[in-house]
Amino acid sequence: MNTTMKANNVELIGKLGMNPEVKATSTGKKVARFTLAHLAFSKKNNAADENKKPASVNWFNLVAWEDQADVAEQYLFKGRKVHVKGRLISRNWTDKSGQKRTTTEIVVNDIVMMDDPMAA
């Protein structure tokens, strides 16, 4: 493997925890922010059995820009099952009260809907 190659790829399947919040930046770029819940099941508690509860739920913050933000705005909603591909980033900023903040997000570059929107 080439040691100079750096990989930063994330793939997740889960359900949206909120409707995407879509805004335009000061430069006019469209951005959508939303969350995704990934359910983790234990071996005894198989995901195929819909009555079983997950062992844990992991929440991820997702950000989609431009074309992917258009997809999010048009087709995504809370509860929709999706497969997303993207890259992981961390951001730092100072909030209005002067507190330093950090967040980790997935910048989405591909969204695949995995359910029937009428059934969700």
**pLDDT, tens only, 62-80:** 999 999 999 999 999 999 9
Q: Residue 84: inside a domain, yes or no?
A: yes
- What pTM was estimated for this model as a whole? 0.79
Would 48 be classed as within a structural domain? no
Q: What would the pLDDT profile of 97-110 be if each residue is shown by its tens digit?
A: 999 999 999 999 99
> Within a domain: residue 62?
yes
In a domain? residue 119: no
For 7, residues 6+ apart whose C-beta sits below 8 A from its C-beta are none
Residue 29: how many CA atoms within 13 Å on its side-chain side? 8
- Residue 64 inside a domain? The answer is yes
Q: Give the H or E element holding residue 31.
A: strand 30-40
In total, how many domains does the chain have?
Answer: 1
55: tokens are 């062992």
Is 34 inside a domain boundary?
yes
Q: Take residue 105 and report the two structure tokens written for it.
A: 């997000």
- Report the CATH number at residue 98: 2.40.50.140
Residue 51 lies in a domain: no
- Judge whether 81 lies within some domain: yes
